[in-house]
Amino acid sequence: MFLQNAVADALNNTEWAFPLAECFHIGGFAVAIGSIVLVDLRMLNLGLRKETAARLLRYTEPWTLVALVFILFSGAALFISQTFVYIPNWVFRAKMVVLVIAIIYNFSIHRMVASAENPSPGLSKLVAAVSLVLWVSIVFGGIFIAFV
Amino acid sequence: MDIANSIQSIGFLTDLRESALVYPFVLSTHLACIALFGGMILMTDLRLLGLTFKSLTITEVVTSLRPWKRLGGVIMISMGLLLATSEAVKYAPNPFFWTKMTILGLIGVHALVFRPIVYNKTEELDRSPVPPTRAKVAGALSLVLWTGMFTMGRLIAYYEPKQPAPQASQVTPLTNEALK
């Protein structure tokens, strides 16, 4: 089955386009998740203790955002190239649900607690731990799509 | 090939390769390490280049992330070893795999070269108002090497060994149309 659209054409008809999109996807999540994890690490009081989580967040957020755009575009391209593979795949659908939750969580609760003046250490740790679990599970989801 | 075959025939590696759950779990952990610890490498490189975290000293970034990067490196390499050895027959002839291993070697060389003059001299670097050239070179090279690492890692999956030459009967005869 072949999809008729420009992106799908490009990804299905050249040898390098699909792997290239995957590399953008991987490079993108290294930057996006990596930058979020630095803030989480601080919130868990496990590193970068000489700086506040709020300050770290201000540094990392532009990188998170730009990388997120890369991930979403490359991910959308991969999806469009074989919608018939992804749509019926339950891991893919679960990944999308968790992804939406993670993005909303990151820019609401996570952002609020990370940039708070004096958040309670317990709350900070909980929020950071949830953030880590969400993002790591999305990476796992990406791999498991190919194995169910 | 014989060596590759004997490696991947080791009991638990065969189990790993054939497991519907453990293999993707190991692969996911390998990838999650890219997200968790690759990001730390990247942020260190950006700091060395003077592109972000300017209120943090290079010393703080390097020393505070070092134990985490080490832990990440150990997990990442262990998972990578499991992945490669359990599929040794497939990996042995794969040029992308060997390119990746070469880059890994170069990352070792990078560490040998820059550890004494950059990573173990961060206090000296911090005294300079902008990161000195050697710090920027270390950061830039690290970015290039690690980009090469994950790109080659991905491309490993796309290598197809050359098929044996087709039999005469299977060769499509040239038609007049093709000769025109």
Give the predicted TM-score (pTM) of the model: 0.85
B-contacting residues in A 100-139 (Cβ below 8 Å) = 135-136, 139
B-contacting residues in A 49-88 (Cβ below 8 Å) = 49-51, 55-56, 59-60, 63
Q: Do B35 and A60 touch (CB under 8 A)?
A: no
Task: Check: CB of residue B154 under 8 Å from CB of residue A26.
Answer: yes
Q: What confidence score (pLDDT) does residue A2 get? A: 52
Strand ranges (E), chain B: none
Which residues of chain A, if any, have pLDDT below 50?
1
Q: What confidence score (pLDDT) does residue A122 get? A: 93
ipTM of the complex: 0.86
- Residues 6 or more apart whose Cβ sits within 8 Å of residue A103: A68
Mean pLDDT, 10 residues at a time, over chain B (180 residues)? 75 74 90 89 91 88 92 93 88 92 96 93 87 92 94 89 60 48
For residue A143, the one-letter residue type is I
Q: Which two tokens stand for residue B119?
A: 């990573």
